[in-house]
Structure 1
Amino acid sequence: MAAAPLTASERASRVKLMIFDVDGVLTDGSLLFTAEGDRMKSFNSLDGHGLKLLREAGVETALITGRRSGIVEARAQELRIPHIYQGVANKVDALATLLTATGLAADACGYMGDDWPDLAVMMRCGFAAAPANAHPEVIARAHWVSEARGGQGAVREVCDAVLRAQHRYEALLAAACSGAHGT
């Protein structure tokens, strides 16, 4: 008899590295330009705190994005995200490089993406997540979908889901309530 497929929670419980796309996941996907041609992006502070909580729980984080931006670099440094791949034409190649750098297998990784360029990486990772407003083909292939839209708390939701699946959420919450929270 074949084993039952893993639930989203079982998949999340195995995540040692959570990888995120940027535009449409960490941001709402809007591309804002000033009259001078400068680019701007908006990030959600709840998402940022979720990434810090993952790090505190021992789950590594990474970004793989098709665009290159100093804004993304600055945000990743602020959040102490150690693995940043920008200007990536082939996200599967970036995943392979990341797996070599971390020594992890793809089934120990989670990935949150929102559009077709994310599909190949999502299909290789053990846990695939999508924001509520992801493209329908991405949602159809995700193991887990947030209630929030990209850039509006979707990342925090998936961070919380991973922490709950790994039975770390309550301890981190208790530490925050006692004032012992270090993030």
Structure 2
Amino acid sequence: MSKNNSAPLEKLKHIQLLLLDVDGVLTDGSIIYNDDGSETKIFNARDGVGLRLVMQAGITLGIVTGRSSKALRHRCDNLGIRYLFDGVGDKAGMLEKIVAQTGIGPEHAAFVGDDLPDLPIMKRTGLSIAVADANEIVRQKADWTTQAPGGHGAVREVCEALLTAKGLWDEIVERY
């Protein structure tokens, strides 16, 4: 077990912007190509509930991913995710644009990633999070590593920890 398995609640308290990679974070990293060349992605429904709860709590949510797909755009539309940045080669550079658009400083942002292309943006946010099955180097450099793997509840784990740190989780549970 790595040293960063416990959710850093003190850091999470100050997060106002949650940014996510897609392949390997919102999905398990598999890419399914259909006969017509289109892609199929499998998303975790509980991750989606967590993302909605985070947005309802007033936390800004964004997607920053190197690949583009219609399936991803559809998922973001379905969830009401306003900030979708796909086909991004320079994720750290994109962070500057997101900060300008949202007015939220990088010190109040968290990024959830799984592989080497995520490291530059992870180094620039206030909290860097790796999913359990992320590349070993990414896990070592992250402030926190989730217990769940990408596409299998890691994002929900982050959402619940974020809402818990802000003192909102119990209230949300009581509504149900």
| 1:36 Cα offset (Å) | 2.4
Instruction: Name the amino acid aligned to 2:55.
Output: R
Instruction: Name the amino acid aligned to 1:111.
Output: F
| Residue in structure 1 matched with residue 123 of structure 2 by the alignment | 123
Q: CA RMSD in A?
A: 0.9
When structure 1 is superposed on structure 2, of 48-57 and 31-40 the one drifting more is 31-40
Describe the superposition over 1:10-51 as per-residue Cα deviations: whole angstroms up to 9, x where unpaired. Answer: 111101010000000000000111222221100000000000
Instruction: Name the amino acid aligned to 2:109.
Output: C
Q: Secondary structure at the match of 1:18?
A: strand
Instruction: Name the amino acid aligned to 1:135.
Output: N
Distance 2:111 2:173 in 1: 24
Distance 1:71 1:37 in 2: 13
Distance 1:101 1:118 in 2: 20
User: What percentage of residue pairs aligned between the two structures are identical?
Assistant: 38
| Residue in structure 2 matched with residue 51 of structure 1 by the alignment | 51
Q: Secondary structure at the match of 1:26?
A: coil
| Residue in structure 1 matched with residue 135 of structure 2 by the alignment | 135
| Residue in structure 1 matched with residue 10 of structure 2 by the alignment | 10
Distance 1:172 1:21 in 2: 26
| 1:89 Cα offset (Å) | 0.6
Distance 2:130 2:78 in 1: 24
| Residue in structure 2 matched with residue 35 of structure 1 by the alignment | 35
| Residue in structure 1 matched with residue 99 of structure 2 by the alignment | 99
Instruction: Name the amino acid aligned to 2:136.
Output: P
Distance 1:153 1:99 in 2: 27
| Residue in structure 1 matched with residue 145 of structure 2 by the alignment | 145
| 1:70 Cα offset (Å) | 1.0
Unaligned residue ranges in structure 2 (runs of 5+): 1-6
Are 2:73 and 1:69 equivalent residues in the alignment? no
Distance 2:52 2:35 in 1: 34
Distance 1:76 1:169 in 2: 23
Instruction: Name the amino acid aligned to 1:116.
Output: L
Q: Secondary structure at the match of 1:52?
A: helix
Unaligned residue ranges in structure 1 (runs of 5+): 1-6, 177-183
Distance 2:110 2:140 in 1: 16
How many residue pairs are counted as aligned between the two chains?
Answer: 170
Distance 1:167 1:141 in 2: 27
Describe the superposition over 1:50-89 as per-residue Cα deviations: whole angstroms up to 9, x where unpaired. Answer: 0001011111100000001111111001111110000001
| Residue in structure 1 matched with residue 4 of structure 2 by the alignment | none
Q: Secondary structure at the match of 1:124?
A: coil
Distance 2:129 2:166 in 1: 16
